Amino acid sequence: MHKNNTLSLTAAALVSFTGSALADFNFSEKDGVLQLHDEGKLITSFRTDYRVPCLYPLTSPSRANILRHWPLENDAPTEEKDHPHHRGLWLSHGNVNGYDFWAGFDNKNASIKVKSVHNNKVENGVASFNADLYWTAEGKDILGDTRVYSFSRPDADTLRIDITSRLFPIKIDVVFGDTKEGTFAIRMDRSLRVVGPEAKATLTNSNGETNAEAWGKRAKWAAYSGPDELGKPVVVAILDDPSSFRHPTHWHARDYGLLAANPFGIHDFEKGKDKKAGNLTLKAGESITLKYTVIIHQGTLESAGLDAIYGSLGKE
């Protein structure tokens, strides 16, 4: 048990990113959905109209949506309509006390419900909000989830998103089961894939492994690099914070455009005999923290400077 993995994200930490004054963020609400804008342009929305909350859309500095549009929108007819549970940027898992919060194939109404979205603010150019959530299935509240989302612009070519999630049992012990189906994920747009009719991207991790060989490996970060829907070069990366549970995480990173950090799927990823190798049991009073940084950089993998950003994590 990582007892030190508790939520600790202070206002001082939120405002410590350099260069964030480059942003002109503001929040608004439309039809009950919290939206974030920069210079009047939509950056993202916190969508709660599905059984798992997500951020959608998510725009690069060029104003391109780097996420797959379907099934949240149907305005890209050439998209392949697979994995309808891959929606935007989200956090869920495929086995929590036996319930499938990832794909929902068990038909037991596993969902992540919103208790409140609050404390949305912009300070020193950093936009942030809190979401209090609970994971429920078959009418039972299983897991509490308190999250902080923060957005900044380290430079004019980069959007940075820091997401911290503290997970804790509500009434009974909680077991995160060993499965590759999870956990903190982004589903990429058509061109930001390795395979597919419009695929033009490369998947790379911090070890230097690329494309299919990056699947299941433990790494500090993983990223897609290629052209966005406007044809401009972009890098979309997830960095695993050193304080995050089981760092460095394994990656459920697929060449069809899925990028997911998954600290629980050890058996699946390492192909071991023990099918419970990645299991984690949380008892009353215990918690774990999952903490990730998302970088959307207009440029190349080299100009994104992911190793330097990773090296600064926890030191802001």
Strands (DSSP E) contained in the chain are 25-30, 33-38, 41-47, 54-58, 89-93, 111-123, 126-137, 140-155, 158-169, 174-176, 182-187, 202-205, 221-227, 233-240, 250-251, 258-262, 280-282, 288-297
3-state secondary structure of 100: coil
Instruction: Report the 10 Å Cβ neighbour count for 155.
Output: 17
Tokens 């060989």 correspond to 213
- Predicted local distance difference test score (pLDDT) of residue 218: 98
Question: pLDDT tens track of the chain, all 316 residues?
Answer: 333 333 333 333 333 444 455 789 999 999 989 999 999 999 999 999 999 999 999 999 999 999 999 999 999 988 989 999 999 999 999 999 999 999 998 889 999 999 999 999 999 999 999 999 999 999 999 999 999 999 999 999 999 999 999 999 998 999 999 999 999 999 999 999 999 999 999 999 999 999 999 999 999 999 999 999 999 999 999 999 999 999 999 999 999 999 999 999 999 999 999 999 999 999 999 999 999 999 999 999 999 999 999 999 987 6
Alpha-carbon gap, residue 93 to 179, rounded angstroms:
8
- Predicted local distance difference test score (pLDDT) of residue 78: 87
Instruction: Report the 10 Å Cβ neighbour count for 227.
Output: 17
- Predicted local distance difference test score (pLDDT) of residue 20: 55
Least Cα distance to 89 among 135, 126, 52, 130 occurs for 52
Which residues, in sequence order, are CB contacts of 117 under 8 Å at separation 6+?
Answer: 34, 46, 48, 129, 130, 131, 132
Backbone angles phi, psi at 4, to 5 degrees: -85, 0
